[in-house]
Amino acid sequence: MTIMPDETTGAGAKQSADVSQHRYLAFLLLFGLFALLFTLGGRCLENKDSVRFAEISREILEFNDWTLLRLGGSIYPDKPPLHFWITAGLYKLFGINVLVARLAEALAAFAGLWITFFFGRKIFRSPQTGFLAAMMLLSAYGYFFWGRRSRIDIELAVFFSLSLVCFYCGLDAVPRRGKLLWYAGFWLATGAAVMSKGPVALISLAIVIGYGLVVALGADERKVTPALLAVTSPLVLLPVLPWVLSLWQHPRFSEFLQVYHQTVIMNRNKPFFTYFFDFPVKLFPVSPFFFLALWGAVRFRRQLASYRGLFFTFGWVGIYLFILHLTSGKTARYLLPLYMPVALAGAWAVMFYLEKQPRIFGRIMQRADQFFFWIAVSSLLIPFGFAYHAQISLLCALPYAVVLALVLILVRKWLPLKAAGVFVSFIMLLLAIEAGDSIISHKTADYLQLSQVLKAHRLSPEQIRFYTCRSESRAAWAVSFYYNRVIGCSDSFSRLTADPAVQGIVTTRAAIEAENRISWQQIRQKFRIVSCDSRFVILLKPDLKKPIE
């Protein structure tokens, strides 16, 4: 095999490699931020987001309680608080809005790109491969999608991946002090992952044990040093213990335990082989290159014996997938901790075959690059398609299309690695779809429109109630977010009508028709009815003031 660029000798070659690496870093910084922040706040919260996560973070500030999470004013025991703390802190800095609700995940996804770059550069001894892996990670459909939503899974994936990166670097470290620091990083990142989503983060221990046994029993000069791992293991409690102790001392701790024991978590009865479909689809366009890497590693295993980092990524993917299949949590989001090793292996495959079969594989990549480039160019019409379908002026799509066109031109001009063109073009396609969603946001923002109608009738949060809690809890959370105040709900219609403090009841016609003790005729006699889109109706008591014109 030929020598990688960063292994060349001579001052001139080293300076050239440094300049090239600076270009990779600059491109990763600018394009990564653009891809993750462009139109991030343009889409309404209820469209493809989890409303409850944005609202839980907001209620931390409303109740000024950073220990006990709440949703709709009630105890929320399902998740640890790290994501909600970060988002609440961002709310405090930048205000409560849709963009900030998604910002924590976008920043976590951005951090994941940098971890991938530096780890790829280390294990493959090539900044080109590290850069390609970062671009592949960003282009993976699932990573891009969840990195621009208000959920918590990207943070888990990044901390989970960081913990395994630290463990691997600890294996490679020769001085005892270096191992100690890297192993400490492993445990701290594992603790942070637990605080992001709970005990599922401890799957990393199985990967560490599995790979550690391979290293210890194989012909590998590296030393696992289990004693150092054991000595540093209490650090896993450092991110977790302060919250656990404060929760234990909370006045409502017994109530929290009662609600927690009644909560069912990770109960998704999907088929056993569901991930065999989700894996190639959600990781596209990276997944084909991962399978190519897997085949290449088997085919050329003797030649690649020194690429220990590559086989570490395969072990990471294999052990995690095996354990995931044994759990009851069958959802595509739980694949996110695999995106980094899959991107690393896929990037290695591209660079390896470009070097081993430059004519054949180079031609394949060139054709793929041309195909996806014209897909990216064609995607500039997507915002216009969204506008046309929603019967919105096509001029609304023009600014988005112009920005995307300019970025596409600049990206193609300044892209520091031609092999990354396929993945950058796919990212532009995904951004065009996101822009289309932003254009039609006001058409799909049912809860935002409902909030605006309630505010137009000068209803305060204390005067509004939702009926019923069973079916309209999501709407109540969203309106609470847009009002910046918890709005209650009730399953007793008679209690709402008798309560003098309640001036507006938000419900649906179906919910009223299910109420056997009252008819629509009686409703019309007792309330002033305001329709809001095709679903919601607002029942206003007669003594309420006229709406704002």
Q: Which two tokens stand for residue 531?
A: 């329709």
Residue 407, domain member (yes or no): yes
pLDDT of residue 531: 87
Domain stops at, among 310, 338, 356? 356
pLDDT of residue 5: 38
197 and 279 inside one domain: yes
342 and 414 inside one domain: no
Residue 121, domain member (yes or no): yes
Residues 6+ apart with CB under 8 A from 291: none
**8 A C-beta contact, residue 386 and residue 436:** yes
**Is the confidence at residue 135, as pLDDT, over 90?**
yes
Domain stops at, among 356, 375, 394? 356
105 and 118 inside one domain: yes
**8 A C-beta contact, residue 341 and residue 313:** yes
Number of neighbours of residue 495 by Cβ within 10 angstroms: 12
Q: SS3 for 539?
A: strand
**8 A C-beta contact, residue 424 and residue 415:** yes
How many structural domains comprise the chain?
3
Query: Dihedral, CA atoms, 12, 13, 14, 20, nearest 10 degrees?
Result: 110
Q: Which of 3-17, 121-135, 144-158, 341-355 has the lowest mean pLDDT?
A: 3-17
173 and 295 inside one domain: yes
Give the confidence band of 2 by pLDDT, cuts at 50, 70, 90: very low
Rounded to whole angstroms, the Cα distance separating 245 from 253 reads 11
Residue 1, domain member (yes or no): no
Q: Which two tokens stand for residue 441?
A: 């946001």
345 and 409 inside one domain: no
Phi, psi of 250 (to 5 degrees): -70, 140
Residue 139, domain member (yes or no): yes
**Is the confidence at residue 16, as pLDDT, over 70?**
no
What tens digit of pLDDT does each residue of 365-394 get? 999 999 999 999 999 999 999 999 999 999
Rounded to whole angstroms, the Cα distance separating 232 from 513 reads 62
Comparing CA positions, the residue from 30, 50, 156 lying closest to residue 101 is: 50
**424: containing domain:** 358-443
Residue 155, domain member (yes or no): yes
Average pLDDT over residues 83-93: 98
**Is the confidence at residue 158, as pLDDT, over 90?**
yes
What tens digit of pLDDT does each residue of 489-504 get? 998 888 888 899 999 9
350 and 371 inside one domain: no
What tens digit of pLDDT does each residue of 509-520 get? 888 877 767 777
Which parts of 335-397 fold into alpha helices (H)? 339-356, 358-378, 382-389
**Is the confidence at residue 231, as pLDDT, over 50?**
yes
Domain stops at, among 338, 356, 374? 356
Instruction: Identify any residues that bridge with 537 across adjacent strands, giving them in sequence order.
Output: 507, 531
Query: Dihedral, CA atoms, 468, 471, 474, 475, nearest 10 degrees?
Result: -60
* DSSP tag of 537: E
166 and 210 inside one domain: yes
Torsional class of 73: left (φ above 0), alpha (ψ -120 to 50), beta (otherwise) = left
330 and 366 inside one domain: no
Average pLDDT over residues 450-479: 92
Phi, psi of 536 (to 5 degrees): -90, 150
Average pLDDT over residues 46-60: 92
**Is the confidence at residue 6, as pLDDT, over 90?**
no
Number of neighbours of residue 302 by Cβ within 10 angstroms: 6
Residue 3, domain member (yes or no): no
**8 A C-beta contact, residue 348 and residue 116:** no
Residue 533, domain member (yes or no): yes
377 and 297 inside one domain: no
Q: Which of 196-200, 285-289, 406-410 has the lowest mean pLDDT?
A: 196-200
**Is the confidence at residue 13, as pLDDT, over 70?**
no
Q: Which of 15-29, 230-244, 349-363 has the lowest mean pLDDT?
A: 15-29
471 and 394 inside one domain: no
pLDDT of residue 548: 40
Comparing CA positions, the residue from 29, 63, 52, 62 lying closest to residue 414 is: 29
413 and 322 inside one domain: no
Number of neighbours of residue 126 by Cβ within 10 angstroms: 21
Residues 6+ apart with CB under 8 A from 222: 171, 172, 215
- DSSP percent split of the chain into helix, strand, coil, nearest 5: 70, 5, 25
**Is the confidence at residue 46, as pLDDT, over 90?**
no
Q: Which residue has the higher pLDDT, 475 or 14?
A: 475
Question: What pTM was estimated for this model as a whole?
Answer: 0.93
Rounded to whole angstroms, the Cα distance separating 408 from 410 reads 6
Residue 42, domain member (yes or no): no
478 and 412 inside one domain: no
pLDDT of residue 526: 84
**Is the confidence at residue 444, as pLDDT, over 70?**
yes
pLDDT of residue 271: 76
**Is the confidence at residue 8, as pLDDT, over 60?**
no
